[in-house]
Structure 1
Amino acid sequence: MATPLPTDLTAGTYVIDAAHSTASFQVRHAGIAKVRGTIAITSGAITVGDDLEASSVTAVLDPASVSTGDANRDNHLKSADFWDAATKPEWSFASTTVKVAGNEILVVGDLTINGVTRQVELPTEFTGTATDPFGNARAGFESELEISRADYGLTWNAALETGGFLVGDKVKIALDVSTIKQA
């Protein structure tokens, strides 16, 4: 069944505005604190169909752009212990289907991190449209999901004397995406 587009969203291709979009993450450290960081979304597009189910999403992220507020930690995350950003310089997402259940848009697709691809579901919220001061038609979207580091081969860790491990397995990811409609 086709789900009509929200009133102020029109069909077309919307390119991700990397300067105004964010991919952030958080993971437990030593089981007691959360480490937060960001990774740049470098490119991508949302193609809005005549109905929501006919839409698609692509995105590319740069793991070498990681920023957690600590240069030593950032360099460790970029290393072969974690993301091996020098030899695997790109993460990607490509949708396979878009589903609508009530007010929720569920974008299903393939997320590739560290050379490993897994299917994920992104519960997505359309946050609205605006025309910026330069005349660009913009549309915004948000999504949050949780992944397992182990599912992507990210298994580096250190045992703690008190039990458990230094880095948690579950990673929460939040996406805030601003797009510009192409003419």
Structure 2
Amino acid sequence: MATPLPPALTTGTYAVDAGHSTASFSVRHAGISKVRGTVGISAGTITVGEDLESSSVAVTLDASAVSTGDENRDQHLKSADFWHAEERPTWTFTSTSVTADDDAYIVTGDLTINGVTRSVDLPVAFEGAATDPFGNKRAGFESEIVINRKDFDLTWNAALETGGILVGEKVKIALDVSAIEQN
């Protein structure tokens, strides 16, 4: 049975507006605080079908466009210790299915980071649709997941004198997406 679309969302192709969208992350640092940052969104397409099951998502991120508020840390994240951004600057998410589950939509797909692809389930909230002052029809979406960075061969770490490790394994990823309907 086909799952209907949210009432305000219309069929069509939507381009992710990178200037009004954010891909952010946070990870535990030294076990006592969190480091937060963003990764640049290069491109994205959301195709809304007649029902959820015929819809799809494809997004490309730029690993070299990282910002944590500390240039030295950003350079370290881009290095071979972490993201290999010079060799593998592109991260991608390509959906394999879109379904509904209680109050959220589940977009299952292949997430590729650091050259490693894993299937993930993104719980997505549709935040609504509106026409902006320039006549563009926009749709908004949010999602948040936690991944284990080691699943993507992001294994660099350092032991602390007091015990424990410098960089946590769990990384929270939050997406806030604004997309513009294409004519």
TM (norm. structure 2) is 0.99
Residue 40 of structure 1 pairs with residue 40 of structure 2: yes
Preserved CA contact (<8 Å) 2:147 2:172 = yes
Unaligned runs of 5+ in 1: none
Q: Which aligned pairs between 1:78-157 and structure 2 lie closer than 5 A?
A: 78-157=78-157
Match of 2:20 in 1: 20
Report the alpha carbon displacement of residue 121 of structure 1 after superposing the two structures with TM. 0.4
* SS of residue paired to 1:38: strand
Q: How many residues align?
A: 183
Per-residue deviation, 1:52: 1.2
How far did residue 29 of structure 1 move? 0.3
Percent identity (aligned): 68
CA–CA separation in structure 2 for the residues paired with 1:84 and 1:102: 38
TM-score, with length taken from structure 1: 0.99
Equivalent-residue separation in structure 1 for 2:116 and 2:102 (angstroms): 32
CA RMSD of aligned residues (A): 0.6
Moved over 3 A (4+): none
Aligned residue in 1 for 2:173: 173
Following superposition, the deviation at residue 115 of structure 1 comes to: 0.2
What's 1:163 paired with? Answer: 163
Q: Deviations over 1:29-74 (max 9, x none)?
A: 0000000000011101110010112110000000111000000000
Work out the CA distance in 2 between the residues paired with 1:165 and 1:51.
Answer: 46
